[in-house]
Amino acid sequence: MSCSCGDNKCSSCPCDVPQIPRKRNVRHVMLAGNPNCGKSTLFNRLCNMRVRTGNYPGVTVMSHTGNYSDSVQMIDLPGIYSLTCSTAEEKIASEELLHHDPELIINIIDATCLERSLYLTSELKLLGIPMLVVLNMCDVAEERKIRIDADKLSSLLGTAVIPLSATSGKGIEQLKEFLNRSEWEMPSESYIGSERVAEILKEVAGTVPEEYRKDALHYAKSAVLDDPVPASLSGNRNFTEAVKDAKSKISSLGINGSSSVEVAIASDRYSRIDEIIDKTVTRDASEGNKTLSEKLDIVLLGRYTSIPVFVAVMFFVYFISVSWIGSIVTDWTNDTFFGEMIIPWTQEFLTEHGTSEILSSLITAGIIGGVGTVLGFVPQMIILFLFLSLLEECGYMTRAAFILDRIFQWFGLSGRAFIPYLIGSGCGVPALMTARTLGSESERRIALFTATMIPCSAKLPVIITFANCLFSSVPLFAPMMYFLSIAVIISSATIFKKFSAFKSSGSSFLLELPSYHLPNAKVVIRTVYGRIKAFVIKAGTVIFASVTLVWFMSTFSFEFENGFFKEAENIDNSMLRTVSEPVAPIFAPLGFSDYKAVVPVVAGLVAKENIITTLAVTAGVSQSADDEVDDDTMAAALDTHIFHNDKLAAFSFVMFNLFTLPCFAAIGVLRRELNNKRLFRLAVSYQLGFAYALAAIFYNFAMWFKFGVFSGFTVLAIVFAALILFLLLRKGADHDDSIKFEMVFNK
């Protein structure tokens, strides 16, 4: 099993789920159901796993494997509505079900919405595999005064039905008893629908070659509906003639007054599903009263109130997490815990044990001063991720995707694209992997090009540091950075959709809105822990190595003394300046050409957490363990040694680092997901170029309008601005240009 970012075990991924290989000589059980039906929750409970769950589609991007017992393995399939292979999730689920021969299918259905859930049940029954129906969320159904006769439902479906609640664990023991059986029964009926349509499909199934006989009814239904079937079947004359004859017969039935085969079969199924529901489901007479969720959605999803409420909610989250409470906690961690306790204690301990001055400097100024600078932001991250997890768990984030669907459609995206951006607030790696669930290739490409522009946990320390140190007089600085990132993403999507490789309308977005409910404390804690753990692990590995290298290069020069590098008198005589100064002029149009500001930019390409640790070293705030490193000290060092009292340059620095290339790990995933060298080069060039142009435009226009400074760099900024406006306002590529573009980028 892979984690949701696609790697066997990715330390950058918040889910951090280890791989469990599939075993031979054991029984395989596959969990199938609609999105948001509780599959992954049930899977976690049965296998003692912690696959990430969420109440919106796309969380389970690929199948996950877990061990239920020594003799039974479970596979958690992506949430799907059918087996038609029209989406990435359906393709994955169909491939697993048709070609990996499970011994049992557990079909999880939502007890609060049988109408939708039973359509997939009708397709799964065609596969000729033992099947169990799990009636999940029975506790929620009871709250809504919905009563389901499980025994009668079992009789009508022709398969065992077990009611339970995956969240509370009610009914789990009955499910375990079923799983522990030596044999599992086949469904007594294969087709849910009228007998006439069933007979027609069985006639087609009778012509299916022997190697596909187990799934004959499924392939018969697929062929009749013009869905993809194995190539060998398309060349079988008996089969193709039977399919043609079946279509004619079904059309002539005039089901629901339609001659369309697709409509006829769907209507036939839903007619039978309605009959089953009428016989098994009873609802309280007071069901017409609006539920609490429905009342809340009048405001939260209102035509004129939804966007303002969403903006207010996100502003509240980031203001509290970064600018207010989070800032207070982080100040104590940096100033008191590290500044007054850890560093002085370590320095005293090393001095008492006769440690050399160089080694003491490495440990206190380099390692603790650098890594500790980043770890000091963990409290703010905990608060931020706690808020986001609470919003996810209570059901609001699903509404956010629905709200943004209206806006995203204007830019060639659907509300489903919100999911990669939401996940990207934790880590860009799984965000890029989640883009594979988007409905169209052009939509997926736009998401891949822009998903890492949302501030992730690694960029959060950059925002926090500058918000606390240089822009403390601007309380809205942190929320402003997040809304700026949304504007940049929207602008980029607008530019991309003008080109043929990205030009299409957003895909359809089918979304089930769950009822608002109290968040599950265990899930929230596990989610926050996973994200923070990934951040801390990176701080202890990649950042440790990077900050040690930066400390070494800032401490020594290229001159030799006694057979080793000579200790530099100061950072201006160090290796760091010698290596980085030739590159520094490139960033002059952005307002920061001092090599001390350029080194953090380069280090940030390895891991964005490196930016602040490297700034701490190059600014000299961790050179002496005797000095207390608080916000005032950091602010003075950045202002004096890095940006030379130029706040506009500091703001430009933040803008460039937020929107430029992500870390190496995310770049590698981007290359793999695009699977196109030309598009990958375009993505890298665009992210570098757009971030550079944006920072240059801001800095030079601000200098021009505020101080009247007009230079050659201002002219360059005007050229950048004109180019961006042209790309935003130009007419989309015509048909001929589209063909040329596709030929260039899809070779």
Residue 453 three-state SS: helix
Pairing of strands 72-76, 146-148: unpaired
Q: Are 127 and 215 in contact (CB under 8 A)?
A: yes
Any alpha helices (H) in 21-171, and if so which ranges?
39-47, 88-99, 114-124, 138-143, 150-157
Residue 506 maps to a domain: no
* Among candidate residues 179, 206, 241, the one where a domain is terminated: 179
**Cβ count within 10 A of residue 651:** 22
Residues 6+ apart with CB under 8 A from 206: 216, 242
* Residue burial 402-430, b: 16+ Cβ < 10 Å; e: rest: bbbbeebeebbbbbbbbbbbbbbbbbbbb
User: How many C-alpha atoms does 558 have within 13 Å on its Cβ side?
Assistant: 6
What pLDDT score does 49 carry?
67
**Band (239; pLDDT cuts 50, 70, 90):** confident
- pLDDT, one tens digit per residue, over 319-367 is 787 667 766 776 676 666 666 677 677 767 777 767 766 666 666 665 6
Angle at 655 between CA 653 and CA 661, to 5 degrees: 95
Let me know whether 163 and 240 are in one domain: no
pLDDT digits (tens, 9 = 90+) for 569-622: 766 777 878 888 888 889 999 998 888 888 888 878 777 777 887 787 777 665
- Cα of 661 vs its chain's centroid, Å: 18
Long-range CB contacts (within 8 A, 24+) of 584-590: 587/656, 588/713, 589/692, 589/696, 589/699, 589/700, 589/713, 589/716, 589/717, 590/649, 590/652, 590/653, 590/656, 590/692, 590/695, 590/696, 590/699
Pick from 10-24, 620-634, 641-655, 706-720: least confident: 10-24
592 within some domain: no
Task: Report whether pLDDT(734) > 60.
Answer: no
Q: Do 38 and 174 share a structural domain?
A: yes
199-to-217, 234, 238, 246, 264 alpha-carbon distances in Å: 11, 22, 17, 10, 15
Q: Indicate if 267 and 232 belong to the same structural domain.
A: yes
Which residue(s) pair with 67 in the sheet?
73
| Same domain for 212 and 101 | no
Asked if 144 and 264 sit in the same domain, the reply is: no
The amino acid that residue 297 corresponds to is D
Q: Final residue of a domain: which of 144, 179, 214?
A: 179
Same domain, 79 and 202: no
Residue 259 lies in a domain: yes
Looking at the fold, whether 101 and 155 belong to one and the same domain comes out as yes
Residues 142 and 40 in one domain: yes
pLDDT class of 633 with cuts at 50, 70, 90: confident
Please determine, for residue 698, whether its predicted confidence score (pLDDT) is greater than 90.
yes
- Shared domain for 32 and 175, answered yes or no, is yes
Confidence check: pLDDT of 144 > 70? yes
In this prediction, residue 739 carries a pLDDT of 35
CATH number, domain at 127?
Answer: 3.40.50.300
In a domain, 589, yes or no: no
Question: How is residue 189 written in tokens?
Answer: 């009926």
Determine the structural domain holding residue 46 and report its residue range. 27-179
pLDDT exceeds cutoff 80 at 700: yes
The confidence score (pLDDT) of residue 635 equals 80
C-beta separation of 22 from 66 below 8 A: no
Ranked by mean pLDDT, the top range of 197-206, 295-304, 364-373, 591-600 is 591-600
Residue 139 lies in a domain: yes
Question: Which residues share a beta bridge with 132?
Answer: 106, 160
Q: Are residues 33 and 141 in the same domain?
A: yes
Q: Which of residues 116, 147, 179 is at a domain's end?
A: 179
- Predicted confidence at residue 370, as pLDDT, reads 57
Indicate if the pLDDT at residue 694 is higher than 90: yes
- pLDDT for res 655: 92
pLDDT at 650 over 60: yes
What does the pLDDT read at residue 715? 95
Whether residues 154 and 272 fall in one domain: no
Q: Is residue 518 part of a domain?
A: no
Model pLDDT, residue 693: 94
Mean per-residue pLDDT of the chain: 76
Residue 543 tokens read as 């950042």
Q: Is residue 245 part of a domain?
A: yes
Report, as an integer, the average pLDDT of 529-539: 71
The domain total for the chain is 2
Residues 46, 78, single domain; the answer is: yes
Q: Do the Cβ atoms of 458 and 607 come closer than 8 Å? A: yes
Alpha carbon distance 58, 433 (integer Å): 10
In a domain, 71, yes or no: yes
